[in-house]
Structure 1
Amino acid sequence: MSMDKFSITSSSSKEQYIFSERDGEFFKFEVVAESVHASRKVTTYTDEFGIANLFSKLSEFNSPWTGVESWKSLEGEFEMAVTCNSTGHVTIQVKLTQWSSGSEDWHLTVHLNTELGQLQQVANEVRAFFNA
């Protein structure tokens, strides 16, 4: 089963992380929230299934974990860090960076809330998207 688009929706707002337009080692990542809408082309070069592997690992946790589980693209334009508190509230932080040849670089850090119980479903969709 392959999927050409999937989203992770916040458990506390309408915010979404949208993964789409997978093309070889590239995909499009978007964050859509009340106060921000940004998108970035991301490369998975050298680690095609890194995000799928991250969520597969997360989906195996059946109780809150300590520390940060993360994945970062080779060139650093996309970084995802996932934490969980003692009550099972999960925060997925994404940092997007766009370097330009001049001085118009931008950096965006966003957070999305979900729950420990949602991670299995997310992992299934991530694996389908990356054909992992």
Structure 2
Amino acid sequence: MSRFPIISSSSNEQFIFSERDGEFFNFEVVGEFVQASRRVTTYTDEFGIANLFSKLSEFSSPWDGAESWKSLEGEFEMAVTCNLTGHVTIQVKLTQWNGGSEDWHLTVHLNTELGRLQQMANEARAFFNA
């Protein structure tokens, strides 16, 4: 699988995983008012995101707290929560350190549903070859 998109259940926003090359992949946020991308490394945890979605797919009801994954270098963080009505929020933080005054940080939330997590887990495993 060359792309792993996650499409919001409440807007046109998308999170797109693409261009996987060894321990690297490209992550893109695309929405009406935001667009950003970042090359991410999975060094030391090649299947971490696939494992995160596999764990999430095991939930048949809302859970407490956040399930998360963070890259070793900290350029990518993902945290997933679910409220009592089964609405799932995926929060992604992207960071670019340029060693000076042009660093940037972006936090974006995407809404989805508890019932879509199994499909996402299958797609994540296919994308990361896990």
TM superposition score normalised by structure 1: 0.98
Q: Deviations over 1:63-110 (max 9, x none)?
A: 000100000000100000000000000000000000002210000000
Q: In the alignment, what sits opposite 2:27?
A: 29
What secondary structure does 1:127 align onto?
helix
Q: Deviations over 1:101-129 (max 9, x none)?
A: 22100000000000000000000000000
Q: In the alignment, what sits opposite 1:130?
A: 128
Distance 2:4 2:67 in 1: 21
Distance 1:14 1:125 in 2: 19
TM superposition score normalised by structure 2: 0.99
Task: List aligned pairs for 1:1-132, cutoff 5 A.
Answer: 3-132=1-130
Can you give the 5+ residue segments of structure 2 that lack an aligned partner in the other structure? none
Root mean square deviation, CA, Å? 0.4
Q: How many residues align?
A: 130
Residue identity over aligned pairs, in percent, reads: 85
Q: Deviations over 1:8-29 (max 9, x none)?
A: 0000001000000000000000
What secondary structure does 1:124 align onto?
helix
What secondary structure does 1:76 align onto?
coil
State the shift of 1:6 in Å.
1.6
